[in-house]
Amino acid sequence: MSVVVVGGNDRMATRYKDICAEYNCKAKVFTQMPSDFENKLGNPDLMVVFTNTCSHKMVTSVNQRSKKHDIPVARIHSASVSALKSVLERYCE
């Protein structure tokens, strides 16, 4: 399963990838908006958005991509490890 994590803390990016690997998920993490963000999202099985630490423009791009390709989006206010684990438990098992 492939997961895209949008938002979160810069220092936690590798930790987010490690947590996704524990649930047998391949992860891309975008803590800040890179150039050509829409194309870098790809077609994952799930998109996780940490709404507290994410720009409005990033959220808009995720919403457009999810509508176009029918991708589920999990929106979480907190960017904590336990919040990510709870989402992955719900969607990956």
The mean pLDDT of 46-55, rounded to a whole number, is 93
Q: How many domains does the chain have?
A: 1
pLDDT in tens, 7-43: 999 999 999 999 999 999 999 999 999 999 988 999 9
pTM of the full structure: 0.92
Residue 71 belongs to a domain with what CATH number? 3.40.50.2300
Question: What range does the domain containing 23 cover?
Answer: 2-92
The mean pLDDT of 48-72, rounded to a whole number, is 93
Confidence of residue 70 (pLDDT cuts 50, 70, 90): very high
Nearest to 44 by CA among 19, 69, 16: 69
Confidence of residue 92 (pLDDT cuts 50, 70, 90): confident
Q: pLDDT at residue 93 above 80?
A: no
Separation CA 74–CA 91 (nearest Å): 9
- Could you please report the per-residue DSSP string of 27-92? EEEESS--TTHHHHH---SEEEEEGGGS-HHHHHHHHHHHHHHT--EEEES---HHHHHHHHHHHH
